[in-house]
Chain A
Amino acid sequence: MSAPVALEVQGLTRTYGEGAAGVVALAGIDLAFRRGTFTAVMGPSGSGKSTFLTCAAGLDRPTSGRVLIGGEDVTDWDEERRTTLRRERIGFVFQGFHLLPYLSAEQNIGLPRRLAGKRPDRARVRALLERVGLADRAHHLPGSLSGGQQQRVALARALVTDPDVVLADEPTGALDSATARQVLGMLRASVTDLGQTVVMVTHDPVAASYADEVVFLVDGRVAGRMAEPTADAVAGQMAHLDDLVVAR
């Protein structure tokens, strides 16, 4: 028996500009991410990975196709409802951390709850801080935390609402390799221990090796998949993406 689908896109296309000058970022993508899985989305620059993520997050409207979150079609929701969706059912981890510089680690983690008009659950925030190994940094401002620590705060913030899916956009892009491994281990643990669903866009084969499966995008299409990836296998595949396109 397989787990229910947390995030699904059907026939997703996104075109920038009109007519002949238009640029196709996504040329029809069908993907489903089951609950409790960790998927890496990879591809060269311009393959449409970032566009895929912004469309899935409801930040950008697809040109055509559907986006389903927790089985619900959210494609045509208005801005107000998509905003609520983002803060209650999607967790974000960005390359640039995106913490608010004037809020402490603890307050940054509680922010999604605040925005929802609720008081943050102190015990839960504490537990998450402990989970990312920052229990003793609760009252520090982002400016006095290292990059790795900031990203761990961002991860705890992404998990605080117990979202349907965590979307990570190059989460280790701004970190050194040792810190990157730490953050990736925590992302992995959120899937294994907490049953979270993580979809991570990356270009780093090492980062991808932490996932259950890798999806390769080339020219806005799904060009291939790889289960139980290793860094070497992913790097090898990335070097020969053209073969995947020919094979298709």
Chain B
Amino acid sequence: MSAGTTTLAWRSLRHRPLGATATFLAVLLGTALIGSFATLVETSFTAADADTGNLVVMGAVVGGWGALIVLFSVASTVGITTTQRAAEIGLLRTIGATPRQARRLIAREAAGVAVLGAVLGALVAAGTGRLLFALLQSGGMVSDATRYDAGRASVGAAALLVLLAAGVAAAVAARRATRGPAGVLVRDSVAEQGRMRWWRVAIAVLLIGYGLGMAVITITVTAHDKDPYAAMSTSGSSSILVGVGLAVLAPVLLRWCATPVRLLSGASSSASAHLASYNTTRRAHLLSGVLAPVIVLTAAAAGTLLLVDIDTRSVPAGTPDSDTINLLNNVVVAMIALFAAIMVVNAFVATVAHRRTELERLRLLGATPRQVRGSVVAEAAVVALIGVGLGLLAALTTVVPFAIARHEGVVPDGGLWLVPAVVAAVAAVTLGSARGAVRSAVR
């Protein structure tokens, strides 16, 4: 019986290359990223004393932030692909699969793909870790006395961490998919008005609360510290924390925020806008997978870029740490932006693949391909608008306290052009991936 489930898992995988690709890519890149930074920590154990600090900060702090984003993205990707199979799982159960068998099927599939991704990711990390170290050494942040000394332990730990996140996400999603009686799920994915689970709200409140708390501490305590970087260390992460917190609440936020957007667009008689406005409010759970990374991407990019900008302006001479810290910050932004962008693309491809029959249904009823594509792009526009709005809100929790700490007042003295730049880039990624995904699905 067990062998039967494995065979079924393998066959089902071969039928669903798209969903599997998303999980595979997320796990591979996640392992590669976390693994690269983990090698720095491992190297620090044998490093020259002067370098230990830098390596640990770079590896543990930056890698730690990266890990948060990466684990979030892996979990959400696995969650999306599993949730989308509710109908198929309902079907399996009507023909006699027990909830346990259905869960095992999901787990085996996720495990197969994730292990493959993690192994390849670990191999990549072994190479990129070395590269990262060379980069730090050539930048003078690590002395020549220290040698790269890392391998299986750090890279393996990173792979295990990513696999753990994927596993937990698959288990949670599988449990959700097999809850309730068999068969009920063999229906159209209903416009789900479901409430959020309590633990999800708790996590979100914790993250947002912690982020806001750090912002308050920045203004009241660390702003007066002699070390100019004390304020940065407390406020720097706020935008990411609050952004991830809001992202966890994405389904509810999308439903709330899309309603006013719908009322605004109510004047338009375009069929695409009409369809998009109802899909975003009534099936928020589908599109929230896209909204979440858009919020994180905007929050992290806007928050951190403005932070670096304020820093370079207010400490022109710099301290011995300035170069390292700014490099670290830029690496964080680049890493998060890359990951969030991949997540947006992944989420759109998965959502559109999931809705293929529904989009074909529209074609049958006489929608032109342009109208079908238009409705998906319009949904992306609503998601981009709301995601950018919420992301900028989250970015304020880093920017405002830090600007106050560096005596620039509530509004930073410069660098405000970064905001429209980030907005434009995020909108381009969101709309572009929607267009790309729907173009291949609807000819």
Contacts and interface: CB of A to CB of B under 8 A. Distances in A.
Contacts of A75: none
Interface in A86-139: 86-88, 90, 92, 94, 98-103, 107, 111-112, 114-119
B54 to A, nearest CB: 52
B271 interface: yes
Interface in B308-338: none
Contacts of A31: none
Most buried by A among B189, B270, B364: B364
Contact of B364 (A92, A107, A114, A143): A92
Contact of B358 (A80, A94, A101, A119): A101
Given A98-B361, A100-B275, A101-B283, A143 B187 contact: yes
A101 B191 contact: yes
Contacts of B190: 101, 141-144
A90 B279 CA distance: 26
Nearest to A107: B278
B367 interface: yes
Nearest to B190: A143
A59 interface: yes
Given A103-B278, A114-B271, A86 B364 contact: yes
Contacts of A115: 271, 362, 365-368, 371
A192 interface: no
Contacts of B361: 98, 100
Interface in B369-386: 369, 371
Given A102-B283, A114-B274, A117-B269, A141 B366 contact: no
B69 to A, nearest CB: 30
A70 to B, nearest CB: 16
A103 B282 CA distance: 8
A10 interface: no
Nearest to B279: A102
B144 interface: no
Nearest to B286: A102
B227 interface: no
Contacts of A157: 365
A98 B364 contact: yes
Interface residues of B, number: 25
Interface residues of A, number: 32
A141 B269 contact: no
Contacts of A112: 365-366
B365 A141 contact: no
Interface in B343-375: 358, 361-369, 371
B191 A143 contact: yes
Given A98-B361, A114-B271, A117-B271, A83 B191 contact: no
Contacts of B283: 101-102
A84 interface: yes
A157 B361 CA distance: 13
A90 B369 CA distance: 18
Interface string B256-299: 00000000000001110011001100110000000000000000
A119 B269 contact: yes
Nearest to A59: B364
Q: 6 smallest A-B Cβ distances: which pairs?
A: A87-B366, A143-B190, A102-B282, A86-B366, A101-B188, A114-B271
Interface of A: 59, 79-80, 83-88, 90, 92, 94, 98-103, 107, 111-112, 114-119, 141-144, 157
14 contacts: A83-B368, A85-B366, A86-B366, A98-B361, A98-B365, A99-B188, A100-B361, A100-B362, A112-B366, A114-B275, A115-B365, A115-B366, A118-B269, A142-B190
Interface of B: 187-191, 269-271, 274-275, 278-279, 282-283, 358, 361-369, 371
Given A85-B366, A114-B274, 8 more contacts: A86-B365, A87-B366, A101-B189, A107-B274, A107-B278, A115-B366, A117-B270, A143-B190
